[in-house]
Chains A and B, each alone.
Chain A
Amino acid sequence: MDRYENPLFTVFKYVSLIFATIIVLFPIYSVFVGSFKTQKEYYTSGLGLPDNFFNFDNFARVFEVGRLDIGFLNIGTIILVAVCGNILLGSMVAYAVGRFEFKLKNSIVGMFLIGQLIPTITTQVALFSVVKGLMLYNKLAVAMVLYMGADVLQIIIYLQFVKSIPRDLDESAMIEGASLFKIYRSIIFPMLGPATATLVILKTISIYNDYTVPFLFMQSQRLQVVSTAISAFVGPNAAQLNLISAAIMVIFIPTVVIFLLLQRFIFSGVTNGAVK
C-alpha cells in the first residue's frame, strides 16, 4: 500500500498515533506514579513524579491486606485446570465428530453450534440454581467446570482445524495397526497445535478477566480471584488512592510482561479466534 502521500496526511498520521499513545499511556502513568506515593503526597502532588521511587510500602500493604497472592493462586489454578480441560474435551469432540460418520453426527454438531449462540451471561439467573443443585456453590470447582462446560469456542475452533488434517495420515497409521486412540493421541492432537495455541491465549485472557462467575458463585474470601480480590480491596480502602494504584500495578505488571514476551503469538491468537 505504498504510494505517494500527501505530506499533510503524513503529519496527521503521526499526530494521531502519538495522540493514541498518550490516551493509552496516560491512565497507566497515573497509577504507576501514584503507586509509589504516600497518601498525603498523592493528594497534593497531582501528576508529579513520586518523591521516592523506592517507597514499596503500598505494595507490601496490598499483599498483606488485599491478599492478592491468594487471588493469583486461585485464578492460576482455575486457568490451568479449565484450559487443559478445554483443550482435552474440545479436541476429543473434534476428533470424534470430524473423523467418523454416524447417525447423530449432524445433530451433535448442530447442538454445539446452538450452544455457541447462548451467551452464559444471559443464563446466569438459572445457572445459579444448577450450581446450587450440584453442590458447587462456593467451591473453586464451580469456576473450573463453568469455564470448561459453558463455552464451546474450543469445539468450534478445533472442528474447523481437524478438517484441514489430511485423512491419509489416519489411514496409513491404521494400515500399521495403530489404535484409534493412538491416532488421536499421536497424530491428530499434535497436528492441532496451532489451534491449541490460539485457544490457550483466548481462554486465558477471558478467564483471567472474568468477573461474573467469581462474583456470583464464589463469594467466600478464601476463594477470591484477582477480579474479586481487587474489588473487595477497593471498598474499605476507597479513600487511599495510592494503595489502590499499587494494587492495580501488581495486577498489570505480570500481564504486561507476558504480553511483551508473547506479543506475536497473542496477535495471531486473537486474529485467528475472531475469524472462527
Chain B
Amino acid sequence: MFNFSYKTQRYMILFGFLTIPLALLFTFTFYPAAALLYFSFTEWDGLGYDMKWIGLDNYKEVFARPELFGVFQHNLYYFIGGLVQLAAALYFAIILTGKVRGRNFFRAIIFLPYILHSVATAIMFKNIYHAEYGVINVVLGSLGLESWQQLWLADTRFNNFALAFVSMWKFLGLNMVIFIGALQSIPDDMYEAAKIDGASRWQSFRFITIPSIRRVIELMMILTLTGALEVFDIPKVMTNGVNGTNTFILQAIDTAYSYQKFGLASAMSVVLLLMVVALILIQRKFLFKGEE
C-alpha cells in the first residue's frame, strides 16, 4: 500500500495528522481570543462593519459600572458553595474509602446527580423552589411552618444561595469520586505504620492523608474557582438573571446579544479570560512545586 521511504512517510504523517487539528485550534480558539481582544478596544454592534476604535474606554466602563464588574459578587456565592461542597466531598470520600456498609450504593447515589442533565436539573430545582407549588414550601406548609416559606428565587436574601445549592448538589459526587481516586492511591502500609507508632485517627488524617492528596485538593480548589467564575446555565435557566442573580458570563452574553454592545461584552470577556488564565497558571506553579 505504501511504497514510500520512511522519510517521506514521516512528512506525510506529520503533515496529514497535524494540519486539521491545528487549523481547528487556530479557527476556534486562537483567532476568537485575538478577535475578542481587538473587539474589546472598539465600539461595535456585532452586525455591520461599523467598528469604532475607542481604546481603553470599554475597560474603564467594565470597572466603573458596578452592574458590570460588581456582578462578580454573585459568582462569589458559587465559589463559597463550591468550597463547602469540596469539604463535604472530601468527608464523604474518606468515609466511603473506609469500612462502611453499603459503600458502593452510597457512592453511586451521591454521584448520581453529576450524570443527570444539567438544564433538566436546573428546571427540576426551579419547580422545587416554586413559591406556591414547589415541594419546599409545600412541605414547610404541611409542617405548620408557614413563616419559613420563602420566595426562594425572588427574594434577594436567598436566591443566590438557592442557585448555588443546585451547583453543589450536582457536583458533590464528581468531586467525591475524584477524591476517592486520590485516597485509594495512598499505600495502606503508611496508615499501618502510623498506627503502630500510636498515631491517632486525626493525626494520620492530618499528617498522611492531607499531604498525600494536597495536589488534588489544590487542583480542585482552582477548578472550583474557575468554575464559579464561568457559571452560566443555572442562573440563565432558573431566573434568567433577574433579582440580582446574574453572573458575569450571563451579563456579558446579555450585553452582547440583547444590548448589541459587542465591544463592551468583549472587554468583559477579556477580563474574565485573564482571571481564569492567571488562576490556572498559579495552579500549575503550585503543582510544579509539589513535584519537586
Contacts and interface: CB of A to CB of B under 8 A. Distances in A.
Contact of A47 (B92, B116, B138, B269): B138
Interface in B204-258: 216, 219, 226, 230, 232-233, 236-237, 249, 252-253, 256-257
Nearest to B264: A125
Contacts of A30: 124, 127-128, 135
B157 interface: no
A73 interface: no
B82 interface: no
A37 B165 CA distance: 27
A255 B117 contact: yes
A196 interface: no
B154 interface: no
Interface in A90-142: 90, 92-93, 95-97, 100, 102, 108, 111-112, 115, 117-130, 134
Contacts of A227: 117-119, 233
Name which of B29, B216, B226 has the most chain A CB atoms within 10 A of its CB: B29
- CB-based closest 3 A-B pairs: A149-B24, A271-B181, A179-B2
B108 to A, nearest CB: 6
Contact of B9 (A21, A123, A180, A234): A180
Nearest to B104: A263
Interface stretch (A49-57, A161-169, A204-212): A204-212
A122 B272 contact: yes
A97 B17 CA distance: 9
Contact of B28 (A23, A127, A245): A127
Contacts of A180: 2, 6, 9-10, 12-13
B138 A46 contact: yes
B277 A211 contact: no
A121 B108 CA distance: 30
B234 to A, nearest CB: 10
A175 to B, nearest CB: 12
A179 B21 CA distance: 22
Contacts of B24: 89, 145, 148-150
A2 B99 contact: yes
A259 B92 contact: no
Interface in A245-276: 245, 247-248, 251-252, 255-256, 258-260, 263, 266-268, 270-271, 274-275
B28 A150 contact: yes
B126 to A, nearest CB: 8
B123 A234 contact: yes
Contact of B6 (A34, A174, A184, A259): A174
A115 B13 contact: no
A1 B14 contact: no
Given A93-B18, A126-B33, A127-B32, A24 B265 contact: no
Given A179-B2, A227-B118, A241 B127 contact: yes
A197 interface: no
B92 A20 contact: yes
A123 B273 contact: yes
B202 to A, nearest CB: 11
A46 B142 contact: yes
B262 interface: yes
B120 A248 contact: yes
Contacts of A174: 6
A95 B232 CA distance: 36
Contacts of B101: 14
